[in-house]
Chains A and B, each alone.
Chain A
C-alpha cells in the first residue's frame, strides 16, 4: 500500500494557456508602440533680441535675401526664382570659389583639424516669409538650403579627409567641417501687422 502511494506523481500544471496570455501581452505592445523613427530638419532658434538693440550692420555682399511670398513664390535677392535654383545659388554664395567682389567675404579661422587656418565664409542667408506662406514651401526652402550646406560640407570632407561627410565618424573632424561650413541662416523677426 505504502509503495503505491509513493509512486503517485504530482499532476503537471497545464501551461497551454500561457501562450494565450503572452500573445495578449504581445498584441498590447504591438498596438501601443510606434516603430518609426521621428525625422526632421534640425534648427537652432536665436535667443530673443532686446528691443533696444540695433541690428548689426552687415555688408550688402554678405547677405543672400530669400523671400517667400504668401503665394509661395520665391524671390532671391529681389529677383523671381524657382526652388530648384536655390541650392546652386546658395552654394555659390556660401563658397564664393572665385573670390568674386559681389559675393561674401571670408574670414580666417583657426580649425586645427583642417591644418590651422581656414577661410570661413561671412555669408548669411536671410530667410523671410509671409504669414500666408505654406509650411510645405517653407520646408522645401529650408531643405534646399540644408542641401547646399551639406553638399559643401561633403566636398570639404572628401577633399580633406577622403570620405563623405555622412560617413565621418571622428568627432574632431565632424566638428571641424561643421565649423568651416556653418549653417548661417538668419530668419527675419516677424513683423507686427496692425
Chain B
C-alpha cells in the first residue's frame, strides 16, 4: 500500500529554461551578421521596375542611394522628388551629397563607390537624366539602376 502513496506524491520536474537565452542570443548574432541597418526612412514612393538581367550590388557599405519618386505624403503633390539621406533635395544638392559620401569612406574604397538610383517606375526620364548629368560632373561614374529580379 505504502508504495502507491509514494508514487502519487512525486512531482513532474520543471523544464529548464536556462538555455533559452543562449538560443536567442545565437539568433541575434545571426541577424546582426547577415543584415545591415536600414539606411533611412523613405519619404518618396519607390516601387522599382523589374528587369531580368539584374546584378547583385556587392558590398552594401560602398553604395550610396538616391531615391527618386512621387512623395509619400499626398499633400506634397505628385511631382517626382529627389530624396538624399533623410530629406528632400534638389539637383544642386547631389554634388555635395556625393562628396560627403566619399569623405565618409576610406581612401582605398572610394573608387569602388557605387551610386544606386532607386527610382519609381512612373518617374519620367527628364529628372533621371538631370541626376545622371550631376553625377557625371562630380565623377561618380559607377551607377546602378535599382530594379527587381523578374520571375520569368
Q: B-contacting residues of A (Cβ < 8 Å)?
A: 15-16, 18-19, 21-23, 25-26, 29-30, 32-35, 37-48, 68, 129-136, 138-140, 142-143, 146-147, 150, 190
Residues of B within 8 A of A33 (CB): 31, 35-38
Contact yes or no, B31 A40, CB < 8 A: no
> B121 is contacted by which of A46, A129, A136 (Cβ under 8 Å)?
A136
Cβ-closest 3 pairs across A and B: A131-B126, A33-B35, A40-B144
A68 to chain B, nearest CB (A): 8
Instruction: Tell me if A38 and B18 are in contact (CB < 8 A).
Output: no
Whether A29 and B28, one on each chain, are in contact in the complex, defined by CB atoms closer than 8 angstroms, is yes
**Which listed segment binds A: B5-13, B50-58, B102-110?**
B50-58
- Inter-subunit contact A41/B145 (CB<8 Å): yes
Q: Mark B113-152, 1 if CB is under 8 A from A, else 0.
A: 0101101111111101110110111011111111111000
The one of A38, A131, A133, A190 that contacts B133, using a Cβ cutoff of 8 Å: A190
| Chief secondary structure at chain B's binding surface | mixed
Q: Are A19 and B17 touching (Cβ within 8 A)?
A: yes
Contact assessment for B125 and A135 in the assembled complex, using a CB-CB cutoff below 8 Å: yes
A47 to B125 CA separation, bound complex (whole angstroms): 20
* Other contacts beyond A135-B123, A143-B51: 10, CB < 8 A: A19-B21, A22-B25, A32-B37, A39-B55, A39-B57, A42-B55, A42-B143, A43-B143, A134-B125, A135-B124
Cross-interface CB contact of B136 among A15, A21, A47, A133, cutoff 8 Å:
A47
* A41 to B115 Cα, complex, angstroms: 12
How many positions in chain B have a CB within 8 Å of any CB in the partner chain? 56
A145 and chain B: residue at smallest CB distance: B53
Interface centre among A19, A35, A38, A39 (most CB of B within 10 A): A38
Contact of B49 among A15, A25, A43, A136 (CB under 8 A): A136
Per-residue contact bits, chain B 13-45, to A (CB 8 Å; 1 contact, 0 not): 000011011001101100110111110000000
B72 interface residue (CB < 8 Å to A): no
B24 touching A131 by the CB < 8 A rule?
Answer: no
Q: Identify B119's interface contact among A21, A47, A135, A143, CB under 8 A.
A: A135
B residues less than 8 Å from A32 (CB atoms): 37-38
Min C-beta distance of B115 to chain A, whole Å: 9
B148 and A143 contact, CB distance less than 8 A: no
What's the nearest-Cβ distance from chain B to residue A146, in Å?
A: 4
B111 an interface residue at 8 Å Cβ cutoff?
Answer: no
- Do A47 and B141 touch across chains, with their CB atoms under 8 A apart? yes
Query: Which of B17, B51, B60 is close to A139, meaning CB atoms less than 8 Å apart?
Result: B51
Q: Which residue of A lies closest to B39 (CB)?
A: A34
Which residues of B from 69 to 105 have beta carbons under 8 Å from A?
none
B144 lies within 8 A of A22 (CB): no
How far is B20's CA from A105's CA once the two chains are assembled, in angstroms?
69
Q: Which of A23, A30, A68, A143 has the most CB of B within 10 A?
A: A143
